Structure 1
Amino acid sequence: METLNNFKNFTDTLAVQSVRMPVLFTSHGSPMDIPLSKEEKPFWNSLFELGKNLQHKYEIKAALIVSAHWCTQGTFVNISPQQTQIYDYYGFPDEYYQVKYQAAGAPDIAREIKRIIPFVTETPEWGLDHGAWPMLMHLFPNADIPVFQMSIDYHAAPEYHFQLGRQLKSLRDKGVLIIGSGSLIHNLSLVRQRFATGDMTPFGWEAEYDHWIKKEIDQRNFDSIINYGTSHALGKLAAPTPDHFVPVLYSLGLMANKDEVRHFYEGAAKLPAFSERSFIMEGN
């Protein structure tokens, strides 16, 4: 991937910080969680506490979000100086569309990525989607961190996403916090079938897959995770489409040898075919 190597050469010219940024993989919750406060939802509170610690410990110049909700043919990067809030969920009460999170973008970084990686398409028409702002409004509630998103090429192989994450590693030394936002278990078809019966409880198999994927992450069994559809009997049930799983491949690709993994939220999901397991990787 010559263009990705060029990107690494570019990032090597940016100012290096003495403290390396961590990497996150996080859930962004269900749309039904949006009106809930951090006191009402433990996962939101875990993000709030993590965000306080991150801003105390690190000088974060910008956050790059790889969101499950921006899937494209090819790779796009958002260059907006002020991010538009995207309500990409449907059929909810009005209050779900009145929550505001107004963050600045990071257009200079985004435009340089385009200059070094020609296949990236710049666009001002995207913003912060459901994979970004519901999580960010608890992680950084003051919206004081510039944020931009890079899209997921829906048709690219899992190995590509992992390798792209690896190529982004040097950004960690330049003040960029990179966050993969998705869900390790996300089967929307099964969720809808379950809800149609009036039953909102998990199926029961979710815990088995969650235990397996945690073990693979902790043991750095990257090949197993990249081949998630065949590595475990429940793989295709847990992630029948790539969108919500692929963000974890970016995060794992960014892992450094000295990083330690800490699962900052691993409470059992209360919804069927869904996971809120979230973790941070840092070596400082």
Structure 2
Amino acid sequence: MGMSTLYGAPKPEPDMIKLIHHAINAGVTLLDTSDVYGPKTNEILLGKALKGGMRDKVQLATKFGIKLDGSWQVQGDPAYVRAACEASLKRLEVDCIDLYYQHRIDTSVPIEITMGELKKLVEEDKIKYVGLSEASASTIRRAHAVHPVTAVQMEWSLQSRDVEEEIIPTCRELGIGIVAYKKLEESDARKRINDLATKIGCTTSQLALAWVLHQGNDVVPIPGTTKIENFEHNIGALSVKLTPEDMAELESIASPNSIKGDRYGAGLKTYKDSDTLPLSAWKA
């Protein structure tokens, strides 16, 4: 995301392609983008980067559902799902998307209707697997009953623990992979985490990544970066081994009850806003 939008101006394309190649050669196997990053330009960038034999080395994930037409809009009707997928395939210059997420849930469309169209796209070999992002437990269950949900993307970090109440248990009950993104904000907890990182011999961000990596083999973190040196720093988190005592100390610092407040401002939907119309109420 940061290569093409947010965090300042878009970064130079040759530098970003070099970074993507570096990451793949270092063993990264999942690239995560969205049609809203840029918007659209990040998919074009990945399409260029994956030419020349790189495509077969990675699982390629992208998303649909957020429109930025002067304001934040969420859409999930069948015609839009199909049109968005076709457009992403063209920008990425691929025949099939490995993992296709609904980026945010359109509450005006029953999730069964959206998933029904995604199921058709799987049957047509335009996508391999279906994912959801920021979906509630009930939305995940309803979606999974139509077609298997392979992964759910969510914010899960030392400072965002609310998904542990229902979302994580639901995913694990249904055998759904967990893709975690994070934001580590300034707080009293961060200061204490920094102290522990110093004691362990790593940086605060490496410790935060290591904590996610220690949550289980069904959890995949997706840290973003725009610099090779920062990428190497992130990869260093794989070498951070946390003892049960370290995990217990982190739990005491950043327990689910210790951090309060909404993650986003008004207008930015999360799983808390994702319950859709019931199927019985749908009128196409």
TM-score of the superposition, structure 1-length normalised? 0.29
Give the structure with the higher percent helix.
Answer: 2
Greater relative CO, 1 or 2 (CA 8 Å, sep 6+): 1
